[in-house]
Chains A and B, each alone.
Chain A
C-alpha cells in the first residue's frame, strides 16, 4: 500500500513546465529519494507536495486522503512533515521552543488556560518540553537545548528542522537537501539519522544532491529531468540506467560511468 500517491501532477510557470505530467508512488516505511540536475523541478515538486503551490493539474494523495490544493497546515494535519533546503527556523525562539512548536497539532490552543497559566497548561507544557528535549537528544542536539536558535551553527540548524518536523509525529517526512552545505562528517551523521528513522518505521522522501547519501540510504530513487520522470527504481537500477548516466555526465561509455554515479 502506497502512503503517498502522485498522479499526473503538472505545474508551469509561464512557458516553463516545472513539473510535467509526473506520477509516482511512495510505499510506506521506505526511504524514497528524488534526484535530478539543478532545475529538474525537485523543489517545485516538493512545494506541490506540501501545499505551498497548487498544481495546474493532477492529484496528490496521502494515506488515501486527497490533499490537492489544500493549504499547507492541512497537509501537516494529515501527517506530512518537512524540512527546508534554505533554512526556515524560528530564529525568534530558543532551539527547544522550535521543537516544542513542532508539537502544535497535539497542543491545546485554548486561551483561558494559557492566560491564567492553569495547572492543566503547566502539566501539558512540562510533558511537551520533555518530549522536545528527548527529540533533540535523538537527533544529536543535546548540547543545544537551551540555546537561542540564532546562536546555532548551520549543521545544527539542519538537525533542528528535522527535530521540529518529527515533533509533529508525521507519517511521512520530506527532507529537502538535508546534507546541503554540510561537511563530510556532518553529512555522514545525517545519513545515520535517516537510516535510524527508516528503521523506526518512518516513511522518508529525500530530495538530495549528495549522491553518496542517496545511494546509501534509499530504497527507491526517482530521477527527474525537466520536470518529468527520467528513471525510477532501486539505487542500483537507477545508477545503471544509461539515460541517467547521460543526464548526469553526458553520453559516454555507460559501463565505466555507472560506477562513478554510484560513488559520486
Chain B
C-alpha cells in the first residue's frame, strides 16, 4: 500500500513541523515577555512630555483589565457587561475608605478589591449555574446599578462631580509623579501578562479552555463547569477592581463615568478586537482602542464615525481579532 505509507509519512512530517512550531511558540512566550519588558522600559525615553505618560498609564491599566476579562470571555466563553462596574467599585471602594475614613491606601486597596470579589461571587454563583448568557444579563444589570448608585449617593461618592482621592503612600513615602506611576503600572501589566500566560499553560488553563472547546466533554472528564466559570469570573473581577483601585490613587480624582455601561462595552470590544483567547490580543486590543481616539481627535465631529468604521473594517478583515489572525497568516506564510 504505497499510497497509505505515503500518507502516513506526510502526516509524520507534518507532525514534526508542528512540534517545531510548538517549541517556537513556547520560546515566543519568553520572547513576548522579553519584548514587552523592553517596550515598557524604552518607551519613557521617547516620551516628550507628561501627557504621553498619562496615555501610556491609561493603556496599561486598560490592558490589565482586558487580560483578566479575556480569561473570562476568550477562555471560559462567558461575557461580562459589568466590568466597568467592578473597576469603578475598586476605585471608589478604596477612595472612600481612604478619603472618608482615613485608611492608608495599602489597607483600603486590598479591602476594596476583596469586597468586589465577594460581590462578583454573589452575582456569579446563581447565574453561572444556568446554561446560556445569563451572566451577561446579570452583570449588565449590576453595572447599571453601580453606575446609578455612584452618581446618586452624593454624601458618600461626591455624586456626578466625583471625589478627590488621597495619594498612595507607603512607609511615609508618597507615590507621585508620572514616571513612578508609569513604572508601577507597567510592572503591573508585565506581571499580569506573565501570570496569565502561566495560568493558560497549566491545569487551570486547560480546564478553562476545555469549557470553551466543549462544555459537555469538559464535564465528562470531571470539570465542574459552574465552579470553574465562577472562579474565572471572580478572578477577572478582582483584576478589574485592582486596576480600578490603582487608577483612583494615581489620578487623585474619580468620577462615575468610569462605571458607565459604555465603558463595560469598550472593554469587551478591546478583547474581541485584539483577539479572544489570546493574552497578547487583549494587550494589543486595549492599546489600539485606547490610543485610536487620541489620534482621531483631529477629525473632530467625525471622530466617532471614523472609530466605528475602523472597528467594522478590522472585524471584517481580522475576524478572529488582530493577534490570532496575524499569527495564523504568519504561520501559513512560513509553511
| B206 contact from A52, A75, A84, A97, Cβ within 8 A | A97
Of A9-17, A139-147, A245-253, the stretch lying at the interface with chain B is: A139-147
B213 at the binding interface (Cβ < 8 Å): yes
Which residues of B are found within 8 Å of A51, using beta-carbon distances? 219
B15 and A144: CB pair below 8 A?
A: yes
CB within 8 Å for A143 and B15 given contacts A71-B224, A93-B209? yes
The reply to whether A72 and B220 form a contact with Cβ atoms under 8 Å apart is: yes
Residues of A within 8 A of B122 (CB): none
Chain A residue at smallest Cβ distance from B194: A115
A84: chain B residues at CB < 8 Å are 216-217
- CB pair A104–B206 under 8 Å, yes or no, is yes
Among candidates A73, A93, A167, residue contacting B224 with C-beta atoms closer than 8 Å = A73
Interface size class of A (residues with CB under 8 A): 35 or more
Q: Give the contacting residue for A88; candidates B19, B207, B217; CB below 8 A.
A: B217
Q: Which of B56-64, B93-101, B195-203 contacts A (4 or more CB under 8 A)?
A: B195-203
A11 to B104, CA, bound (A): 61
In contact, A81 and B220 (Cβ under 8 angstroms): yes
B177 to chain A, nearest CB (A): 30
Within 8 A of A (CB), among B160-210: 195, 198-199, 202-207, 209-210
Residues 143-177 of chain A, each 1 if its beta carbon lies under 8 Å from chain B, else 0: 11111100100000000010011011000000000
- B214 engages A90 (CB within 8 Å): yes
Q: Which residues of A contact B8 (CB under 8 A)?
A: 143
Q: Decide: A104 near B198, CB < 8 A? Known: A72-B220, A143-B11, A147-B18.
A: no
Number of interface residues of B (CB under 8 A): 36
Count of CB-CB pairs between chains A and B under 8 Å: 126
A125 to B206, CA, bound (A): 11
Q: Is the CB of A115 within 8 A of B199?
A: yes
Q: Which residues of A contact B79 (CB under 8 A)?
A: none
* B199 and A114 contacting across the interface, CB-CB below 8 Å: yes
Residue of A nearest to B12 (CB): A143
Contacts of B19 in A (CB 8 A): 145-146
Could you tell me if B213 and A90 are in contact, using CB atoms closer than 8 angstroms? yes
> A101: which of B12, B22, B206, B277 is its contact (CB, 8 Å)?
B206
Q: Chain A residues with Cβ under 8 A from B70's Cβ?
A: none
Quick one: which of A52, A75, A114, A124 has the most chain B CB within 10 A? A114
CA distance A128 to B203 in the complex (A): 10
Q: Point out the residue from A102, A145, A151 that lies within 8 Å of B14, measured CB to CB.
A: A151
Inside 8 A of A109's CB, which chain B residues have their CB? 203-204, 207
Docked Cα-Cα span, A77 to B221, in Å, equals 8
Q: What mask results when residues 207 to 235 of chain B are scored 1 for a CB within 8 Å of chain A, else 0?
A: 10110111011111111111000000001
Contact: B207 with A76, CB < 8 Å? no
Contact of B18 among A72, A108, A146 (CB under 8 A): A146
CB-CB under 8 A from B199, the residues of chain A are 111, 114-115
Scoring B221, B223, B235, B277 by chain A CB atoms within 10 A of each residue's CB, the highest score goes to B221
Closest A-chain residue to B219, C-beta based? A72
Query: CB within 8 Å of B: which of A104-125?
Result: 104-105, 107-109, 111, 113-117, 121, 124-125
Q: Tell me the minimal C-beta distance from A51 to chain B in angstroms.
A: 8
Closest residue of chain A to B19 (Cβ to Cβ) is: A146
> What mask results when residues 18 to 51 of chain B are scored 1 for a CB within 8 Å of chain A, else 0?
1100100000000000000000000000000000
Closest chain B CB from A120 CB (angstroms): 11
Residue of A nearest to B191 (CB): A115
Q: Which B residues between 306 and 325 are near A, CB-CB below 8 angstroms?
A: none
Which of A173-229 touch B at CB < 8 Å?
none
Does A85 sit at the interface, judged by CB under 8 A?
Answer: no
Which residues does chain A contribute within 8 Å of B210, judged by CB atoms?
90, 93, 101, 104
Chain B residues contacting A50 (CB-CB under 8 Å) are 220
A246 to B216 alpha-carbon distance, docked (Å): 36
Whether B202 pairs with A125 at a CB distance below 8 angstroms is yes
Assuming A100-B206, A109-B204, A117-B202, what are 12 further A-B pairs, CB within 8 angstroms?
Answer: A71-B226, A76-B219, A76-B220, A84-B216, A84-B217, A90-B213, A97-B209, A104-B221, A109-B207, A116-B195, A124-B203, A147-B15
Q: Which residues of B contact A (CB under 8 A)?
A: 8, 11-12, 14-16, 18-19, 22, 195, 198-199, 202-207, 209-210, 212-214, 216-226, 235, 277
Q: Give 6 pairs: A residue, B residue, CB < 8 Å, sorted on A.
A: A73-B219, A77-B222, A81-B221, A90-B217, A105-B222, A144-B15
Nearest 3 Cβ contacts at the A-B interface: A90-B213, A146-B19, A72-B219
